[in-house]
């Protein structure tokens, strides 16, 4: 039905507005069948997507990624002067519970293929996607940050995700985290609960 709709649209547009001058291409039909609306297909045409990229877009659309995000991912890859080839990474991140906004943020590092495995691993430890994305962003920029296991230990001492994010944004390292973990454990052993203290 969608294919027929696209064919009819292209047949009518030349008469109405001088639009489509020829039958839809194989790329148009594949993208149409994947659920992309006409305007998104036009955007991908303008980006001159390859057959390989079309296959990647179809793949992530079949896994529920929105057409807007699919086009944004292709656009981001092209802005880095390489084709979009991270369909599997996108799917793995989505299955691990990352929102599309998180996926786009990881794509902006231009290291999604390598970071996606770390991201999924960290999520499996119970760390929130917001914390994971912040950590991986800092890693991608070469900024000091904590490792996944150390973040997990901090979380186990009773810190909230927001408190952990504050420490990550402040550049806390594993060494500093280790000292705070030790201090918090001592406080818990003495009083039976962890005293919330400000990091200095």
Same domain flag for 93 and 160: no
Q: Report the range of poorest mean pLDDT among 3-12, 72-81, 108-117, 118-127.
A: 3-12
Give the pLDDT score at 196: 54
Q: 35-59 as b/e, with b when 16 or more CB fall inside 10 Å? A: ebebebbebbeebebeeebbebbbb
- pTM exceeding the 0.85 threshold for the entire prediction: no
Question: Tokens representing 139?
Answer: 């890693």
Same domain flag for 149 and 136: no
Continuous H helices in 18-66? 26-33, 38-46, 51-62
Residue 81: CB atoms within 10 Å: 7
Same domain flag for 74 and 108: no
Angle at 159 between CA 154 and CA 165, to 5 degrees: 85
Residue 192: CB atoms within 10 Å: 7
Gap between the Cα atoms of 196 and 162, Å rounded: 13
Same domain flag for 138 and 154: no
Same domain flag for 193 and 161: yes
- Domains of the chain: total: 3
Q: Per-residue pLDDT tens for 101-146?
A: 999 999 999 999 889 988 998 888 888 999 999 999 998 889 999 9
Domain final residue pick, 53, 81, 109: 81
Is the pLDDT at 31 greater than 50? The verdict is yes
Residue 115's domain comprises 86-142
Same domain flag for 22 and 94: no
- DSSP at 25: P
Q: Per-residue pLDDT tens for 165-189?
A: 999 999 999 999 999 999 998 888 7
For every residue of 65-97, DSSP letters joined together read: --HHHHHHHHHHHHHTTS----HHHHHHHHHTT
Angle at 140 between CA 124 and CA 73, to 5 degrees: 80
What is the distance of C-alpha 20 from the center of its chain? 34
Same domain flag for 148 and 195: yes
Give the pLDDT score at 119: 92
The share of the chain scoring above pLDDT 70, in percent, equals 84
pLDDT classification of 16: cutoffs 50, 70, 90: very low
């Amino acid at each position: 039905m969608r294919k027929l709709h696209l064919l009819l649209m292209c047949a009518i547009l030349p008469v109405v507005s001088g639009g489509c001058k020829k039958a839809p291409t194989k790329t148009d039909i594949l993208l149409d069948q994947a659920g992309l609306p006409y305007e998104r297909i036009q955007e991908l045409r303008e980006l001159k997507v390859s057959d390989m990229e079309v296959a990647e877009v179809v793949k992530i659309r079949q896994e529920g990624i929105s057409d807007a995000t699919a086009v944004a991912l292709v656009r981001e890859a092209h802005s880095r002067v390489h084709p979009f080839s991270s369909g599997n990474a996108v799917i793995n991140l989505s299955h691990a519970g990352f929102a599309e906004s998180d996926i786009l943020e990881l794509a902006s590092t231009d290291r999604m293929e390598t970071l996606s495995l770390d991201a999924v691993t960290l999520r499996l430890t119970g760390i929130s996607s917001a914390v994971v994305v912040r950590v991986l962003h800092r890693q991608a920029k070469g900024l000091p940050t904590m490792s996944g296991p150390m973040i997990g230990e901090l979380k186990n001492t009773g810190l909230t995700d927001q408190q952990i994010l504050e420490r990550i944004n402040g550049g806390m390292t594993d060494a500093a985290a280790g000292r705070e973990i030790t201090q918090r454990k001592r406080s818990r052993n003495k009083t039976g609960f962890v005293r919330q203290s400000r990091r200095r």
